[in-house]
Structure formats: structure tokens, C-alpha cells
Amino acid sequence: MEIKFTKAAALKEKPVDETTLGFGHNFTDYMLVMPYDEGQGWHDPEIRPYGNIELSPAAMCLHYGQTVFEGLKAYRTADNKIQLFRPDENFKRLNVSNQRLVIPPLDENLAMECLMELLRIEKDWVPHTEGTALYIRPYIFATDPYLGVKPGEHYLFMIILSPSGAYYSSGLDPVNIYVESKYVRAVRGGMGYAKTGGNYAASLIGQDEAHKQNYSQVLWLDGVEQKYIEEVGAMNIFFVIDGEVITPMLQGSILPGITRKSAIELCKSWGLKVTERRITIQEIADAYDAGKLDEVFGTGTAAVISPVGHLKWNDKVMEINGNKIGDISQKLYDTMTGIQWGKIEDKFGWIVEVK
Ligand SMILES: *Cc1c(COP(=O)(O)O)cnc(C)c1O
């Protein structure tokens, strides 16, 4: 399918100081837009100047949340190649989310072609400083001007790009996490496994409470008994107990992270014992009391690996590994970011170069 290109009258200044980029504030010169109309399918992809879009005040996405999204990054290597980490997994997952939200599937090759073309045009926006990347946000939303509740017949698929700063300015700082025991994020049979705005909307109140108590993120428990550990809302969670790497199994309420999957594959390749199973928060507290909780870390595209320094469950505050990053967390971080930035050979075939 041909991708139409509409040139911008003028290009923006690229950020000069890449150390102050932060996350999600700056956007590049262009964006990709592709409509879906019932009867026509996905058609007429266009790369056009980044800017506001026109939407009916009745657009269904605004009222009933029929939206899905993805998140990945483009990395610049020392020899100025631009590369992506397992992007095929993102478009595969986008279609899983689409299926759950009754959004028509998107040809994964077409989506990839759209992304590659946009990146070829915008490659100068991939920042150069150590630890920085160009964050990529593909998303889909229903645009039908209609207040009835039903799946849309008209959608937009869009991709916007945002140069982002290094997640950690001074090494891998452990984060403090608060176990939420009042609210839940998702339930089995719900949309927990889909990357959709509604899951985030459900999580804001917990996040707010955590911040009030000086914790940066929330660890969610299962929606039925609030006993079993699920995830951190934008990260999956791992525990190292007595040398064994344990992470909650995927059973519908947890987002299947690509960083999670990669961490499991790496740990197995190192001969570590990795177990995906249901695990209760009580079990974690018991392991902590027995001195067997070696490491806790989160996995996600944004931070890659986030060591947990403190875990608060009701009145119990667990300090993990003396509030220092553990060996497995550090090795996973070094290996994964090493592959992403082209410093370490990619033995797994995870890297896709933008040419
Ligand atoms: C995106 C996301 C993650 C992390 O997934 P990655 O593919 O590793 O970036 C974890 N949990 C939720 C709820 C997410 O939306």
C-alpha cells in the first residue's frame, strides 16, 4: 500500500540539550495517520505534519474508551544505526488488544511498513546521548460520531514519536512500591491483558494514593481475593527467592510485557531457574522474613529493568537487598540495554534495523 507524504512548511528545532528531554513532552515533525472505514478496511496511510486532529465531539472513543495503544523505542547505536527491539511483538500484541476491544485487526506488515517509513523520515530525531531514545506510540481509536454503545465502524490508526531522555540519570535507582489493597486494576475476563487506556484510568486512583505516601508506583493484587500478585501497572514484576526467578503467570488480567518475555528468555539462557506461577503477597512477605527474598524488579520498555528498593504492604515495609540493585537485575539491565544500543551482540535476533 502506498504511503502518502505531505511535507511540512517548516521543520522544528531539534532539542539541543538532550539531558532535559524527560518523557512524552516533545514530538517530532511528522505523524502517521491511517483511517479505517467499514467496507473499505484500513486505507490511505499518510505521513503528515504533526498537529491537532479534528474529531467529532460525539466521537465514540471519547465516551466509551474504545482505544488501544503500543509503546516501543528506536535506539541510536554508536555507529549511527537506528534500531528497534522486537517491534513485531508490539504489532502482534496490538492485534490481541484489538481483538479484545472489537477493533478490526491491522495487517502487522502494513503497520510495520508505516512505522519504518515514518522513522526513515524522522531518524534525525532519534537522540544521541547515552540512555536516550525515540519513544514510539502507535494507537487506534474509534471516531464514529455516535452516542450509542457498540463497536465503531470508523477508526484512526496513528503513530506519533517523542524523543525521550535517559530514564535513570545516575545509575539504576531502586524504586519504592506500594501494594494496593483497596482498589484493583483488572480482573480475569476483563481487559487486563490488553494495552488500553481503560486499564490506566482504573489505576490512577491507586497511583495517587501511592504518591501521597511517597511511593512512586503501585503493585496490583488480583481482582478477586487481592491475594495474588499481578503487576505494577506499567511494568511486570519479578522476584528472586533463594536464587529462583519467579514472575506471576499470564492468565488474562496481566499485560504480557515484551520486556518480561525477554527477561524470562535471558534468565533461562543463563541457566537460571525461572518459574511463571501464581504467587501471593503473603509468600513474598514470608520469604522476606526468612531472609530469602534476594531481589525484586519490574520490567517494561520505559525503564527496561526497575529494581525495587522498598515494598510496602499494609503496615509492613520490606527493604529489598539493602535498597541496592541485585546481581540478576543488573545483569538483565546491562544485557538488554546492551543489545538495544548495539553494544552487545544480539544472539536472539531481537533487533530490527531501520534502513
Ligand atoms: C506496556 C505495559 C507493560 C510493559 O510492557 P513492555 O512490552 O515490556 O513495555 C506492563 N504492564 C502494562 C499494564 C503495560 O501497559
Each residue's pLDDT tens digit, 114-130: 999 999 999 999 999 98
**82 Cα: distance to centroid of ligand 1 (angstroms):** 22
pLDDT of residue 233: 81
**37 Cα: distance to centroid of ligand 1 (angstroms):** 29
pLDDT at 150 over 90: yes
Residue at 174: amino acid letter: P
What residue spans of 176-321 are helical by DSSP H?
A: 197-212, 258-269, 281-289
pLDDT of residue 168: 73
**312 Cα: distance to centroid of ligand 1 (angstroms):** 22
pLDDT at 169 over 90: no
Atom of ligand 1 nearest to the CA of 262: 8
Over range 177-185, report the average pLDDT: 95
pLDDT of residue 278: 97
Angle separating helix axes 87-100 and 108-122, nearest 10 degrees: 130
Cell of 238: 519479578
**331 Cα: distance to centroid of ligand 1 (angstroms):** 20
**315 Cα: distance to centroid of ligand 1 (angstroms):** 28
Cell of 259: 520486556
Atom of ligand 1 nearest to the CA of 72: 9
Determine the residue of 177, 195, 218, 219 to mutate for testing ligand 1's pocket, defined as the one with the most ligand atoms within 8 A of the Cβ atom.
195
Beta bridge partners of 82: 76, 354
Of 124, 214, 216, 203, nearest in space to 168 by CA: 216
Cell of 146: 455516535
SS3 12: coil
- Compute φ and ψ for 18, nearest 5 degrees: -75, -5
> Which comes out higher in pLDDT, residue 5 or 15?
5
Residue at 267: amino acid letter: C
Grid cell 504518591 is found at 211
Determine the residue of 236, 238, 264, 304 to mutate for testing ligand 1's pocket, defined as the one with the most ligand atoms within 8 A of the Cβ atom.
236
Contact residues of ligand 1, CB 6 A cut-off: 71, 195, 199, 231, 233-236, 255, 257-260, 299-301
**301 Cα: distance to centroid of ligand 1 (angstroms):** 7
pLDDT of residue 170: 61
**235 Cα: distance to centroid of ligand 1 (angstroms):** 5
pLDDT of residue 171: 66
Atom of ligand 1 nearest to the CA of 195: 15
Cell of 133: 531514545
CA 202 to chain centre: 17
What residue spans of 142-278 are helical by DSSP H?
A: 197-212, 258-269
In terms of C-beta density within 10 A (0-12 exposed, 13-18 middle, 19 or more buried), how is residue 299 classed?
A: buried
Q: Whose CA is nearest to atom 1 of ligand 1?
A: 234
Q: Rounded CA gap, 170 and 27, in Å? A: 25
The answer to whether 88 and 109 have CB atoms below 8 angstroms apart is no
Confidence bin at 166 (pLDDT 50/70/90): confident
> Which comes out higher in pLDDT, residue 19 or 317?
317
Cell of 210: 501511592
**31 Cα: distance to centroid of ligand 1 (angstroms):** 23
**Rg of the chain, C-alpha, whole Å:** 21
Confidence bin at 335 (pLDDT 50/70/90): very high
pLDDT at 282 over 70: yes
Q: CA 315 → CA 141, 179, 216, 285, distances in Å?
A: 41, 10, 17, 12
Please state whether 296 falls in left (phi above 0), alpha (psi between -120 and 50) or beta.
beta
Of 55, 58, 47, nearest in space to 113 by CA: 47
Please state whether 210 falls in left (phi above 0), alpha (psi between -120 and 50) or beta.
alpha
Q: Whose CA is nearest to atom 5 of ligand 1?
A: 257
- Compute φ and ψ for 328, nearest 5 degrees: -70, -40
pLDDT at 172 over 90: no
Q: pLDDT tens for residues 200-258?
A: 999 999 999 999 999 999 999 999 999 999 999 899 999 999 999 999 999 999 999 99
SS3 188: coil
In this structure, how many other beta carbons lie within 10 angstroms of the beta carbon of residue 54?
6
- The number of residues making up the chain comes to 355
Cell of 161: 514519536
